[in-house]
Amino acid sequence: QVHLVESGGGSVQSGGSLRLSCQASGYNRITYCMAWFRQAPGKERERLASIYIANNFTRITDPDPGRFRLSLQSAEKTLVLEIDSARPEDTAQYYCGSTEPNIYAGGVCTQRARYTYWGQGTRVTVSS
């Protein structure tokens, strides 16, 4: 059974940096995607960055590709999202998601509907 465990988050001043980690377990194949999403109050959950584990194909959402960095610590199956120059509008609940291990093209990782596993979420608050 797949489990995702998130860590990081908390409170940060505007202009600061954030580091969120998500460790996956339960996969015996690498043909799956992992991604970071966030959901602000009253808004839909949005994908920030995703990666196809089989070949590290990465997609980071616009318009902030320069602020977001995604990295994969393969041995630990840990996906790290770093956000620079944090803004108050980054305040949200952040979630790690992953798909079934039946993905065979990295472009699929941008499709929100393919994500079936979720972490518990971690709260990020950016104060001005």
Beta-bridge partner residues of 120: none
Which tokens belong to 2? 């797949």
**Cα distance between residue 14 and residue 16, in whole Å:** 6
Each residue of 25-55: pLDDT tens digit? 999 999 999 999 999 999 999 999 999 999 9
Q: 61: pLDDT confidence band, cut at 50, 70 and 90? A: confident
pLDDT given at position 46: 94
- Is a pLDDT exceeding 80 seen at residue 63? no
**Cα distance between residue 86 and residue 63, in whole Å:** 14
Q: 76: pLDDT confidence band, cut at 50, 70 and 90? A: confident
Percent with pLDDT over 70 in the chain: 97
pLDDT given at position 62: 61
Question: What torsion do the CA atoms of 47, 32, 19, 125 make, to the nearest 10 degrees?
Answer: 40
